[in-house]
Every structure is written in C-alpha cells, then in structure tokens.
Structure 1
Amino acid sequence: MRVGFAVPQSGPWATPQNMRVIAAKAERLGYHELWTFQRLLYPVGHPMGATYRSVHDPVVTLAYLAGVTSTIRLGVAVINAFVQPVPLAKQLATLQTVSDGRLTAGIGLGWLVEEFEAAGVGYEGRGRRGEEFVEVLRTSWTDDVVEHQGRFYRVPPSHMDPKPSPAPPPILLGGTAEVALRRAGRLGDGWVSSSREDLSRIGPRIDLIRSSAREAGRDADALRFVCRGVTQVRQGGLPDRRPLTGSYEEIRADVASLEAHGVTDVFHDLNFDEEIATADPEDAMRRAEEALEALAPA
C-alpha cells in the first residue's frame, strides 16, 4: 500500500507557506505522493459545502510544489473534461518534465453543470467526451504529428513538442457509475475514487474494473487503484463510524482493510474535513501536521 497526503488547497489554511510545509514534511516522512483536486467555481447558493467554496488551481499548485520537492510524486484527482485537452496536454507535459517524471494525471467527467457553462462546453455526452479527451491527451504526448478529428475535438496536423519527459504521465480515471468503472478498466492506467465513495463497498468496484481490463486484453495487475481518503481524525469509538474517520489507530486499520480489498494507494485528504477547511489556519495546520506524523507510512 502506497500512502499519500493532500496538500492544503481549500479554505483559509491553503496558503503557499502551508503548502510548502506540508509538502516538505510529507516528503521527509516517506509519503508516496502529494495530491490536489479541482473546483473551478462555486455557484451562489449551492449546497455542496465549505470544502468547495475556495479552491486553488491544481496544476499551478503542483507546479509550485514541484519546485520545492525532489522525490515525492505529484497527483491531481481529478481534472474534469470541461477544460480543453490540447492546452491541458501542454501544461501537463511541461509539469511532467520539470518535475522529472513525478506526475499522476487524474481525469474525470465533471458533474457541476455551471462549470461546463462557464467553460463554454456542452454537458451532454460527457462519457463519450471523456473518452475522446483521454485520446487527445495521449496522442498529444506520443505522436510526432498530432492529428485528431472527432466528435468533440479537432486538432489539425501539428507538432506538439516537447513531449513529456522521461515519459507521458499515467492517467487515472474517476467515476462511480458502472459505465465509468468499465471505462477505467478499458482506457485508464488506473482508477481514483471520489470524495463521496462508499469505501465499505470499494472492493466490488475494483473487481469490476479489473474484469473490464482483462476483457479489453489489458494487464489488470498493472493498474493502480487510488482511494481518496476523506480522513477525519476524531475520538475513537464513534457509533456507525465510516472508514477513515476516528482515532489514528482506527484510521490505520482502515488503510490496511482497504489494501485487503485491492486498493493500491490511499491518500489522506483533510481538505474534505470541514473542521479543517473552515478552521483558523494555525489550528488547521497544527491538526494537519499531527495527522501527517501519525499516519505516515511505516
């Protein structure tokens, strides 16, 4: 099991200084990967919660952290397909190169209609759009002459250089519906769960993805299964406790259980604990640094 940690990205504690502190300590403690997420906007009056109210751009955040770290990997979970794939391909290729190949690119379909509207992208056909989106990314990173004529995207014969070095970043796909899970098995280098995932049922989802990969003639054992841990440190013994909420001992036991169900990576994301996202920055950092130490990989 590889263990990662999400950097401060949402709310008052998400300052450049705090990002640097968490990134440096996570690298020193042996965490595998630093993680970010995307939220383009927050519609007025929307009930989605404080975590999404104020969120830094994930790619810019990772580029910043690439310059203050040297070995820890850098992941985004996820960038949604309401952005344009060619400019994103250029950004991610550059980030992969300047970080010396440490990037993991999580790609999702998106679910907030207002973000599609603001980006000038249609909401319909998101699944087909997402598949074409991934195709454009990979073509941009590998083909000498990049050309694409699809339903959603068109790229005239062009050179898109430099290519990402030392290799294209792996692409993890998000999603919870059966069709999305099968898509991850057919097309992705792995799957990343959402913040709303029922972790008590994650095993069957992984089994379905692996089965879909085998049906497509792919090596299911090569896939990564990344769990976004909506980690909330609380007093132990909570009734109806959900996975990754509770004492440090309970959370560590949950990580071991996730591994037994096929998860290859888990990252602890305190941004989704509203007690952190809305707290005084100093208090949030005190709690985060304590969790970073307590949950560090062995």
Structure 2
Amino acid sequence: MDHGVAGTAVRARDAGEFPLEIHSYRLGGMRIGFAVPQSGAWATPDNMRRVATRAEELGYHELWTFQRLLYPVGHTMGPTYRSVHDPVVTLSYLAGVTSTVRLGVAVINSYVPPVLLAKQLATLQTVSGGRLTAGLGLGWLPEEFEAMGAGFERRGRRGEEFVEVLRKAWTDDVVEHHGEFYRIPPSHLDPKPSPAPPILLGGTAEVALRRAGRLADGWVSSSREDLAGIAPRVAAVKEAAARAGRDPAALRFVCRGVTQVRPGGGDDRRPLTGSYEDIRADVADLAAKGVTDVFHDLNFDREIASADAKEAMRRAEEALEALSPIG
C-alpha cells in the first residue's frame, strides 16, 4: 500500500478510529465512485460535503446523484424515494467544495424541458471545470409526467429527440429544432460547455440498450438491475454501437451499486451485499463482465434510509474508507 491518503486510513485504523480493517484496492481500469447522501434524514448539506470531500481525498473517481421529483401518496416504491434533493442543485453545491472528483447524475428523466436542462448542465459543466457526467432516463412514474405537463406515451422516441436537442444546444452556434416533441426557433444558447458533458443512457429493455449503443457515450444500470446478469446487457450495448459504426471500446458501462454492508452474507447473497471482502470481490467480478465504473450507493440501503442521521453517517463513512479505490 502506498503512503499519503491510503496511509492515513491505515494510521486511523491503528489508532482505533475505524472498527474494521481497511483494505484499499484498485481494479485495473475499473473506476470506483460513491453516491452522496441525497435521500432521507442523513441527506444534509454538511453530510453531503463531508462525504464529497473525503471521497475526493480517498481517490474516488466520481460523486453520484439521482432524481426523484415526487412521491405519490400511497405509493409503494420504498423509503429511498420519499424525500430526495434535486440532483443538479446538489452537484452544483458539491462542485464548489471539491476540485478534482467528477460529478455524475444517474439519471435525469425526459419529462423536463431539454432546452432548460441543457442550460443548467452547461453551466454546471463550466463552474465545475468540466467534471460533469449527464445520465438520462425515460422515466417510469406517470404522476411525475402529469405534474410536469409532459406526455407519458412514446417515451422512447421522446428520449431520442431529447438527446438530439441537448447536443444541438451544447454544440451548434445557431440552435434550431423542429421535431415531434420539441421546437426551438433559431437561437443562440450560450455559453457552450467545454467539453460538452458525456451522456449516459439508462434502461433495461432491448430497445433501450440498443438506443444507448447508437446514441450515448455509455450506459448506466438502475437500482433494480440484476447484477448477476449484467454481462449480456453490456454486450447488447456494444453490439448496437458496432452496428452504428461507433467504437464499443470507447463506451462507459456504469453500475449503480445498491451496496449493503452485511457481515456474513452467505453463498446466496446478492452482488454488492455482504462483507467488505465480498463487495470488493463483486466489484472485480463486474469488471470481468465488462463494467467500467461502479459507484456505491448507500441511499438504496433500507437500513441507511431508516437510520437516524448520525448512525447513517457513521456507517457511510466507514464504508467510504473501507471501499476506497486508492491502492
């Protein structure tokens, strides 16, 4: 193990600050990220800042957020979605307290106006010094579309046009668009982001995987993804990219890790659930399946979601140190 940040973690362990032994690791080309506190009682500005700055010190590649606009009364989607901060505002705040770690959102859904989102993300890309990754999704909650005044039908075609509008807004001197869903009169939309943020697309259906291969800079899995079967999805995106004349090797494959630290997970545990040793082994397995990025997202751990803020942060900071990519 090298000195510096990783050495600091070891010294802290020796001094009794952390209850578990910390093994730092780096897995070839795999990039390791961490999701900031964004949902529930622990998602305070102070905790966001603590996780973000420590993740940067520990060499994490990217900080991640997600979007949930509203929670319909009586819905059963779970506690993670009950109280969620806006991802763009959260990343803008974190851009000001960090300097090198990348900033990602997985995902913003296509019920928002693309020209407005293009402006917001362009500004975030500029103020962060070019650190943004923009993950986009079609959306699946009808009530959010209703609240935004957007149609729920034909979401796939809408999503493709959404990407087209974003890229025009970020690159064309005069932006003009006359599509099925969106219209922009000849306009200047400046300043331009430099470089334009890479776009990841989500989705698990075959048509969504093909769309990502044809149009995006990569694919991002959802919180409901069966990680044991992720390899065929990676292959489907790569195949679609190759058929579109694009280089599959240039794409990113980002896994949202619904990471749950559970000592003694057993043989029937789900990937990224178990001891720290289990989780590190799972990350290595995902790398072997073609995944290029994993980020550990404790917002989707029901034990974190239901804990008080102090206990949630204690567990999160322990995991942050134990799963550090520095090696």
Same-fold call, TM cutoff 0.5: yes
Partner residue of 2:302?
274
Are 2:221 and 1:182 equivalent residues in the alignment? no
Structure 1 residue runs of 5 or longer lacking an equivalent are none
- Aligned-partner Cα distance in 2 for 1:59–1:278: 25
Are 2:322 and 1:287 equivalent residues in the alignment? no
The correspondence for 2:286, drawn from 258, 265, 268, is 258
Contact 2:265–2:273 (CA<8 Å) still a contact in 1? Answer: no
The Cα offsets for residues 175-226 of structure 1, whole Å up to 9 and x where unpaired, read as 0000000000000000000000000000010000000000000010000000
Are 2:91 and 1:62 equivalent residues in the alignment? yes
Partner residue of 2:192?
163
The correspondence for 2:39, drawn from 1, 6, 10, is 10
Contact 1:236–1:250 (CA<8 Å) still a contact in 2? Answer: no
Are 2:110 and 1:81 equivalent residues in the alignment? yes
The correspondence for 2:73, drawn from 39, 44, 51, is 44
The correspondence for 1:32, drawn from 21, 38, 61, is 61
Aligned amino acid, residue 174 of structure 2: V
Partner residue of 1:197?
225
The Cα offsets for residues 235-272 of structure 1, whole Å up to 9 and x where unpaired, read as 12435200000000000000000000000000000000
* Pair member with larger Rg: 2
Partner residue of 1:296?
324
The Cα offsets for residues 6-47 of structure 1, whole Å up to 9 and x where unpaired, read as 000000000000000000000000000000000000000000
- Aligned-partner Cα distance in 2 for 1:85–1:162: 16
- Aligned-partner Cα distance in 1 for 2:89–2:305: 20
Aligned amino acid, residue 32 of structure 1: H
Aligned amino acid, residue 182 of structure 1: R
Aligned amino acid, residue 228 of structure 2: S
The Cα offsets for residues 84-136 of structure 1, whole Å up to 9 and x where unpaired, read as 00000000000000000000000000000000000000000000000000000
CA root-mean-square deviation: 0.5
Partner residue of 1:111?
140
Contact 1:13–1:285 (CA<8 Å) still a contact in 2? Answer: yes
Are 2:247 and 1:219 equivalent residues in the alignment? yes
Q: Return the TM-score normalized by structure 1.
A: 0.99
Which structure 1 residue ranges, 4+ long, deviate > 3 Å from structure 2? none
The Cα offsets for residues 120-160 of structure 1, whole Å up to 9 and x where unpaired, read as 00000000000000000000000000000000000000000
Structure 2 residue runs of 5 or longer lacking an equivalent are 1-29
- Aligned-partner Cα distance in 2 for 1:182–1:99: 31
- Aligned-partner Cα distance in 1 for 2:111–2:164: 15
Contact 2:217–2:251 (CA<8 Å) still a contact in 1? Answer: yes
Identity %: 80
Contact 1:232–1:245 (CA<8 Å) still a contact in 2? Answer: yes
Contact 1:174–1:180 (CA<8 Å) still a contact in 2? Answer: yes
Are 2:127 and 1:98 equivalent residues in the alignment? yes
Contact 1:23–1:34 (CA<8 Å) still a contact in 2? Answer: yes
- Aligned-partner Cα distance in 2 for 1:238–1:273: 18
Partner residue of 2:22?
none
Partner residue of 2:275?
247
Partner residue of 2:234?
206
Secondary structure of 1:128's match? helix
Secondary structure of 1:140's match? helix
- Aligned-partner Cα distance in 1 for 2:307–2:88: 25
- Aligned-partner Cα distance in 2 for 1:269–1:278: 15
Are 2:125 and 1:125 equivalent residues in the alignment? no
- Aligned-partner Cα distance in 1 for 2:191–2:216: 23
- Aligned-partner Cα distance in 2 for 1:278–1:185: 37
- Aligned-partner Cα distance in 1 for 2:305–2:197: 30
